[in-house]
Amino acid sequence: MTCPPETPLWVTIGVPIATFVAGFITSRFTLSRKEKKDLEQDNYENSLKLEELQEKVYSAYTDAIKVYVGKEDVTLDDFVLIATTGDKYFSQTSTLCSAILSDKVDASVRDNKLLAKVRDVAQRTLPKHYETLKSIAEKKGWPYQGELRRQDHEAIYAVVERFGAAPGWTGSESGPS
């Protein structure tokens, strides 16, 4: 390689090395077109799987309430089934929220379907669940210590805070303390 006599040696050697190093580092931290497509596909499939699981816990929860509503003489077991299937419904919603927070779901599915669901759970279903169970337990004289605590559903409230509450929400966005 011939260089003009005024070019310093460190430029002649340093520039190609720096270019190589910069290119290497950039490729480590950015995704190729194919890698990006694969990630999008993974996120989409993950969203579908999470939706399917959500559907299952929702059915179990509503079935438990339907059994309670439809029974003549309800027992403590019927009541406990509502409490436990409700816990599983909220726990699955938290899993869904953790996936949203770590960007493991498809952005369009998240914006068009999942966020509405999560906002509803935070703003309507969670308070209603605990309030109803407490009221039933008091009426029937059953022992029930369930209480809505933010730390039990942290991921759900974190999603509402990050993506915003639904219009018209007048309660505290950060949920119960």
Question: Binding residues for another protein, per CB under 8 A?
Answer: 58, 61-62, 65-70, 74, 82, 116-117, 120-121, 124-125, 128-129, 132, 135-136
CB nearer to another protein: pick between 117 and 150: 117
Q: Judging by beta carbons within 10 Å of its beta carbon (0-12, 13-18, 19+), is residue 172 exposed, middle or buried?
A: exposed
**With respect to another protein, which residue has the nearer C-beta, 62 or 98?**
62
Tell me the closest approach of the beta carbon of residue 70 to another protein, in angstroms: 4
- Whole-angstrom Cα distance, residue 163 to residue 113? 13
Q: Which is nearer to another protein, 41 or 91 (CB)?
A: 91
Q: What whole-number distance in Å separates Cα of residue 164 and Cα of residue 62?
A: 27
Q: Decide whether 86 or 106 has the Cβ nearer to another protein.
A: 86
Give me the least distance between CB of 43 and another protein, in Å please.
22
CA–CA distance, 47 with 106 (Å, rounded to integer): 6
- How far is it, in rounded angstroms, from Cα 14 to Cα 8? 10
